[in-house]
Amino acid sequence: MSIPERTVQVLSPVSGVVAHRIAIGGGVLGVAAAVVLTFQGIDQIHSFPLAMLGLVAITASAVYFGIAASPFRAPFTRLDHAVVASLGLGAVALNAGSQLGTNTIIRDDWGPPALALVLLGVGIFRPTIELIVCSAISCTVIASIAVLESSSFTSRLPLVTYALVAITPVLAMGVSTAVLSSAFFRAYERYAAIGADGPELRAAVEATVRERRLEALGDEVLPFLTSVVESGVLTERDSLRARRLASELRAVTVAQLDESWIDELGIEVHDPSRSAERMSGEQRSAIRGLVQTAVDPDVAARASMRLTDHDRAIVGTLVLERRDGERLDRGELAPYIAMVRTFFPTVRTEVRGGTLRVIFAYDA
């Protein structure tokens, strides 16, 4: 299984849900700005087909981003980022081409501000370095287009001025998203350092619980053995009591050996091969978070899971179903669906009425 990239969305799936709404809002604003500015500057357009293609391209960029950034399609990949940015830059080029030779004022071009609005939420989805590289490439392309258009501008200013005016929206967006991403990672690393002892503490607590169980039994077993030794006689009643204590001790020991993390979820699980033990820590956390959220009273769902061991992979089916038959609140589950999609190599979701079926696979 490939290791997920370090992005804000991967480390904090809830942020991906919020950023998805920002992506949709930014896309709507970007397309609206492009349409309004196109009609405001219609007297500078000499090629209406190019102008229309530009609007189609920026719309396609916004729509693709809105779909690809959905928590139910997580994670948002490098290819997704490249598609969104390429369509946006294509829109900038088409908009400039529709006014080439007839564009008199650079500041009323809709390309750069519309692209900045469409990419407004991208900082949550991609690593800081990639955001910086994408912004640098975008600014270089936009600056080059501005210089190419400069011959028709009414004002006579240094070429660098035109370039700076053109790249300002995208540069501001790029810097802000990169700073956001970097600041989140620094905060996360500080938090991780504070919680570094978490696994050791959990193991210590579990060991203490096991010891307490054995001690509770020992409080009855030791006095019994002492009384038998002191009396020197083993009665039939003592034999019955010894068998009962032996059975209880054996039951506690077997329960501890068979105990699995999946038992903590308190749901119906069919896992004859104990395949749940082969999940990684991240995969267990993703399943645990999804199940615990689903069975919360606010969501009120029943949960069951089946794990099937195949030759090279284990296929799991997690079924979440509303107790009252109503539709599930997918908004509550979205961050945890995103986690499952991030940490399992293959995930498919099916929604039918009040039932959500999450089918996933991982290495055997």
Quickly count: other Cβ atoms within 10 Å of residue 133's Cβ.
14
Confidence check: pLDDT of 307 > 80: yes
Read off the DSSP letter of residue 219. Answer: H
Give the model confidence (pLDDT) of 152-207 as tens digits. 676 777 888 888 888 899 999 999 888 888 887 777 667 656 554 455 555 555 55
Q: What percent of the chain has pLDDT over 90?
A: 21
* Ramachandran quadrant class, 101 (left: phi over 0; alpha: psi -120 to 50; beta: rest): left
CA distance 237 to 243: 10
Length in residues, the chain: 364
Question: Token digits for 256?
Answer: 């501890």
209 Cβ neighbours under 8 A, 6+ residues apart: none
Q: Which of 3-17, 101-115, 273-287 has the lowest mean pLDDT?
A: 3-17
pLDDT digits (tens, 9 = 90+) for 338-355: 878 878 888 888 877 778
- Whether 1 has a pLDDT exceeding 50, the answer reads no
Indicate the DSSP class of residue 330: H
More confident of the two residues 121 and 53: 53
**Dihedral over Cα of 40, 45, 49, 54: its sign:** negative
CA distance 1 to 344: 8
Q: Residue 3 — pLDDT band, cuts 50, 70, 90?
A: low
Q: Residue 58 and residue 167: Cα distance in Å, rounded?
A: 17
* Res 298: pLDDT: 62
Mean per-residue pLDDT, 55-79: 90
- Largest Cα span, the chain: 115
Gyration radius from the chain CA atoms: 30
